[in-house]
């Protein structure tokens, strides 16, 4: 065989090993890579982030509403009043509750609010200090005033109000095109202590996403029911001979380096499948029955099922001797239906979605309690934008800044982190339809979560979030050390 062929074989062998471990950085040392151990610093123990993406643009200004009469009146006027099937079918405002037991107070001093009545479970978690809100957060290049927005288009995030573009910018942690997400770039830097490197630290139950794409890291995709087996291949039963034949093919030696590496990659993939399948199976570390109780009574939804699988994976990953033993993980789940140009209030469109979010997140919290991981897992929401405060007659349209939540035992909850906006239509921080200019950037939220995961260097945070130096702080303070 020629020297060229032998070199090609070595390259392919190294490449396949790296890709199986979820990385390609061995060949790209110039691309923003440093030692994982150095980046992780002194932050020890197991830690995981869970991103809950609310796809379509959640109308989050109806998740939390100011209770004091003056601010409530501004909110209600901008939302065209409270919906009434007889005389105000275009109204989007929630009625101000007479029962103050529904209220929450911002411990940071911004006042009293009430939450959407469908968010009963999340209100309880907020009052227990397990959940915090980030008001008026969105994609930004730098802080921007309304006058600057009107005077200089280059200061605006590009493609505002576009679903695809704004979702990408939330995933990337920067208001500019890029091919790597901030979750993946964080994982690049903190994955070094994970035992089973063949399993990516980024695991998606919500399908393909840019958020978990790093330089070394590529997301491992699962379904809410677990890992998928090869069709028609079984260790026992009618297809046992196929299993034997496949094993012989994978163990054989091939003259072609392409065939050899294909066999090697498939073999390692099968080994990864077997490790997870055993761990997640009946009687294993993440057996289904264990999670029946935490999710008991939770309304069926894809979000419930995805979060149950995340809980199972966390249990498996933290179990000593189960073959995974990861120290850092980042999960992605996705729940759609929030693009409510119609039926926002009618047919309980938004209410039904929020009900399922509240119940599923509460079930997930109980599952984390059952496995003793509440302080080790932080869950947060993202959505491409909030929606217009003004009505379009039956719903709301694409907006900008909105409200996100962060939940976990390490969250300093029971308060808001950020500035509540003036909700006057065409007011100081909004446009004619109530599209609100964000006062907090997704970069700041992401950097705060990255610090908790172990990326404590300002230089590294600025590499992951290149616009971060434009803002007053890279730590919003909602996470304990």
What is the DSSP code (8-state) at residue 96? P
Element (H, E) at 379: strand 377-382
Distance CA 317, CA 287 (A): 13
- Closest to 168 measured CA to CA, from 302, 55, 328: 55
What is the DSSP code (8-state) at residue 223? B
Mean pLDDT by groups of 10 residues along the chain of 481 residues: 49 43 35 43 83 98 98 98 96 94 94 97 98 98 98 96 98 93 98 96 98 97 86 66 74 82 75 87 58 92 97 95 96 98 96 98 97 98 98 97 98 98 98 98 98 98 98 98 79
Q: Which residues pair with 408 in a beta bridge?
A: none
pLDDT of residue 294: 94
CB 92 within 8 A of CB 83: yes
46-230+269-470 under CATH 3.30.420, yes or no: no
Residues in the chain: 481
What Å distances lie between residue 29 and 19, 158, 456, CA to CA?
15, 31, 21
b/e per residue 420-446 (b: at least 16 CB within 10 A): bbebebebebbbebbbbbbbbbbbbbb
Distance CA 69, CA 350 (A): 24
pLDDT of residue 270: 81
pLDDT of residue 3: 47
The radius of gyration computed from the CA coordinates of the chain, to the nearest angstrom, equals 24
CB 147 within 8 A of CB 431: no
CB 449 within 8 A of CB 479: yes
CB 84 within 8 A of CB 91: yes
Positive or negative: CA dihedral 24, 27, 32, 38: positive
265: tokens are 């990659």
pLDDT of residue 44: 79
Contacts of 157 (CB under 8 A, 6+ apart): 138, 139, 140, 141, 166, 169, 175
Q: Which residues pair with 181 in a beta bridge?
A: none
Contacts of 438 (CB under 8 A, 6+ apart): 136, 137, 138, 139, 140, 400, 401
Residue 200 exposure: Cα atoms within 13 Å on the Cβ side: 30
Domain ranges of the chain: 46-230+269-470
Distance CA 263, CA 246 (A): 10
Distance CA 272, CA 199 (A): 7
Edge-to-edge strand order for the sheet containing 440-441? 220-221, 202-204, 328-335, 47-54, 377-382, 402-407, 131-138, 440-441
67: tokens are 């209770």
Contacts of 100 (CB under 8 A, 6+ apart): 67
Long-range pairs, 140-145, Cβ under 8 A, ≥24: 140/175, 140/438, 140/441, 140/442, 140/443, 140/467, 140/471, 141/175, 141/176, 141/467, 141/470, 142/467, 142/470, 142/471, 143/439, 143/470, 143/471, 143/472, 144/437, 145/437
pLDDT of residue 141: 97
């Amino acid at each position: 065989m020629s020297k060229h062929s032998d070199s090609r074989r070595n390259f392919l062998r190294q490449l396949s090993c790296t890709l199986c471990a979820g990385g390609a950085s061995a060949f790209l040392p110039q691309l923003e890579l440093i030692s994982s151990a150095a980046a992780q610093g002194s932050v020890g123990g197991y830690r995981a982030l869970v991103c809950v993406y609310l796809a379509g643009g959640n109308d989050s200004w109806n998740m939390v509403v100011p209770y004091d009469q003056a601010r409530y009146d501004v909110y209600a006027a901008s939302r065209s009043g409270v919906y009434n099937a007889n005389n105000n079918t275009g109204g989007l405002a929630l009625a101000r509750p007479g029962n103050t037991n529904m209220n929450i107070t911002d411990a940071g001093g911004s006042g009293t609010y009430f939450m959407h009545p469908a968010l009963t479970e999340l209100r309880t978690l907020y009052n227990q200090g397990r959940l915090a809100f980030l008001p008026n957060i969105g994609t930004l290049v730098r802080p921007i005033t309304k006058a600057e927005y009107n005077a200089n288009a280059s200061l605006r995030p590009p493609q505002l109000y576009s679903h695809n573009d704004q979702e990408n910018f939330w995933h990337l942690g920067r208001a500019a095109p890029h091919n790597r997400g901030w979750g993946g770039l964080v994982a690049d830097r903190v994955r070094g202590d994970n035992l089973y490197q063949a399993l990516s630290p980024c695991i998606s139950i919500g399908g393909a996403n840019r958020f978990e794409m790093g330089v070394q890291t590529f997301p491992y995709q699962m379904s809410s029911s677990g890992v998928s087996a090869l069709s028609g291949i079984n260790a026992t039963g009618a297809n046992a001979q196929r299993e034997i034949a496949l094993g012989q093919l994978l163990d054989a030696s091939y003259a072609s380096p392409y065939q050899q590496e294909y066999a090697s990659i498939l073999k390692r993939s099968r080994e990864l499948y077997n490790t997870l399948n055993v761990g997640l199976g009946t009687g294993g570390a993440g057996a289904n029955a264990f999670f029946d109780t935490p999710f008991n009574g939770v309304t069926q939804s894809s979000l419930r099922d995805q979060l149950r699988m995340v809980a199972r994976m966390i249990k498996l990953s933290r179990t000593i001797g189960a073959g995974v033993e990861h120290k850092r993980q980042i999960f992605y789940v996705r729940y759609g239906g929030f693009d409510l140009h119609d039926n926002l209030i009618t047919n309980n469109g938004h209410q039904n979605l929020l009900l399922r979010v509240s119940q599923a997140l509460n079930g997930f919290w109980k599952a984390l309690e059952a496995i003793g991981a509440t302080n080790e897992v932080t869950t947060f929401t993202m959505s491409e934008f909030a929606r217009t405060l003004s009505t379009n007659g039956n719903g709301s349209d694409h907006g900008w800044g909105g409200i996100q939540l962060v939940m976990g035992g390490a969250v300093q909850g029971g308060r808001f982190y950020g500035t509540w906006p003036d909700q006057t239509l065409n007011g100081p921080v909004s446009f004619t339809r109530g599209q609100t200019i964000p006062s907090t950037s997704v970069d700041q939220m992401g950097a705060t979560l990255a610090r908790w995961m172990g990326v404590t260097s300002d230089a590294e945070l600025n590499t992951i979030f290149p616009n971060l130096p434009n803002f007053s702080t890279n730590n919003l303070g909602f996470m304990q050390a």
